[in-house]
Structure 1
Amino acid sequence: MKMFKRFAAALLAGVMVLAMLTACGGGAGGPGESEFEKKVQDVYMAALNKEYGTEWSNNSEVKELATEALNKIADGKIALTAITAEKKTEKNYVGAVVCAENAKQNAEVYTAVYYEETTAGTITVNSDMVELMKTATDLVINLGKQNNTKIEVTGLGVGTKTVGGKTYVAIGYKLSK
């Protein structure tokens, strides 16, 4: 009986580890990314490249920050104060924003945009967020010009995270002096 309990405990632990590893996805774009997450990233990268007039791939530094920003989502909602993330050095600024829409819960809370693999025949980009990011980076570039500082966009990226079958998206950029 004692050996059976040990065997059962070991078996249960093994099943839990296996479940945890398979729930993380695996596959397409990087460790823990599903094919669907990669598809969402590709669709958003195409929209970003179109908006910025570029043909860049998903910048790994921007993607990492964008993915980190998604960790702030709780129950599909994100606070206004947590919707952006940033990383600065003397020469570079990397910023990311979680794609969200105000669901009128209150002025401080937004609903994070998500896609479900089972219902997403076509992934429709949140074009308002893409346009807003382009407007913001253009503003920073123009302010730099006014201060005789050349600033340019040197990278674009998309991060995704799937929780409970919902794939959330954050987009970002890298500015360099």
Structure 2
Amino acid sequence: MFKKASSSSIIQLNKAVSTKSSPLVANLSSIQSANFTDYAYIRSKSLEEANANVLFLYRRMLKILPWMKETYHVPTNLDVMRKTIHKEFKSFQGLSDTELIDALVIRGYIEYNEATMHHKQRGHIIKFFIESDVTNVAPHLQEYKRIMKEKVDTQSLCASVEGKGMGRNIGKYLKNTKDL
């Protein structure tokens, strides 16, 4: 059964390549062709048409965000999710090559379909929407270490541990962690 399904999708690919000779269609793998007929023939004739395709994809992405938040249990609000999608689309704003724009739109539809058909797991979705928040934590790490170093005075802690006869190993361990 799997052989039949993969061979039929390869036939679809070959048919698409022979009728509309596009390097984009030829490079799509048979694995990604589950809903291949929905967006495989995106081929913009002008920049305005390509921008209309991008805008249509952008609106579709924004419409599924509430469903995606509920289904995948994304621990962020919808505004952050919308801003992330907006930032992703803005990063490709200056493109003028219609074939490249079409390739990105096709890739966007593939991502859209993978998310809606549950081919993506919760971790994939969360990583996309929350990754930017995690990278902003790194600059604060040094400040956090400095505050913790001030709060825990390792010298006085070592003296109190050794004074109470709790053993020298704890004191040596604390002295070695003083660098942190």
Q: TM-score normalized by structure 1?
A: 0.28
Task: Indicate the structure with greater strand content.
Answer: 1
Higher helix content, 1 or 2? 2
Whose Rg is larger? 2
Greater RCO structure (CA 8 Å; 6+ sep): 1
